[in-house]
Amino acid sequence: MPTYRSLNLITLALSKGRIFEETLPLLKAAGIEVLEDPEKSRKLILTTNQPNVRVLVVRATDVPTYVQYGGADMGITGKDTLLEHGMEWGGSTSAAGLYTPLDLQIAKCRISVAVKADFDYAAAVKRGSRLKVATKYVAIAREFFASKGVHVDLIKLYGSMELAPLVGMADAIVDLVSTGNTLKANHLVEVEHIMDISSRLVVNQAALKLKQAPIRAIIDAFAGATGAIGK
């Protein structure tokens, strides 16, 4: 049975880097300040100025899993990660037990298809060629190409996606793009825009029922701060 303290303790799962940094103003709007820098500390559980709020530092791809299985009450991660985890396209529900109430409009980028500059992607798609596509985002790529009626063989990679076309392992890649500079440096070009990506707040539905007041207060503060930042 949960203890009194556990029912009052709010745990937020975050990943290091851009999402963490861009989350800090939202936390400040909720009156929460993280007391340690995850880039300087080796700790994976960080305290805040609020005794009943703590932050877990986890891999970005693990945020939905920690929230789904109760390791955290809330988390912030990209739409790409949530789609790969099982979130419905265009919906606010994810895998069992998860609820995504807010698009926080932070850590913005896009998912695109890219190929070598000398590869005729349009012709290959038009004539019904079977494309070899390297990607970390298998579910997103599969859904996208299926919607276009394009046959693909998906090759899952976890990094250095740009290498795959350069060494002849794939015809195309599906990857996150921010500035596009990495693609240009490796003589790749974007040929299709799949979707825009931003980070979402994800909440454990059971925690929302048990800790409704404190979680709703954070959601409302985030919503207000997101609206103010977006103006």
Whether domain 109-196 has CATH 1.10.287.110: the reply is: no
CA atoms within 13 A on the CB side of 213: 4
Rounded distance between C-alpha atoms, residue 92 and residue 169, angstroms: 36
Considering the chain, tell me which residue range(s) the CATH 3.40.190.10 domain(s) occupy. 4-107+198-230, 109-196
4-107+198-230 fold: D-Maltodextrin-Binding Protein; domain 2 (3.40.190)
Predicted local distance difference test score (pLDDT) of residue 45: 96
Predicted local distance difference test score (pLDDT) of residue 86: 82
Predicted local distance difference test score (pLDDT) of residue 141: 96
What is the mean pLDDT for each group of 10 consecutive residues in the chain (231 residues)?
A: 62 95 93 91 94 95 94 95 78 68 94 96 85 96 92 94 96 95 95 96 94 94 78 47
- Sequence-separated (6 or more) residues with CB below 8 Å from residue 200: 76, 77, 78, 79, 82, 100, 102, 103, 104
184 and 101 Cβ atoms separated by less than 8 Å: no
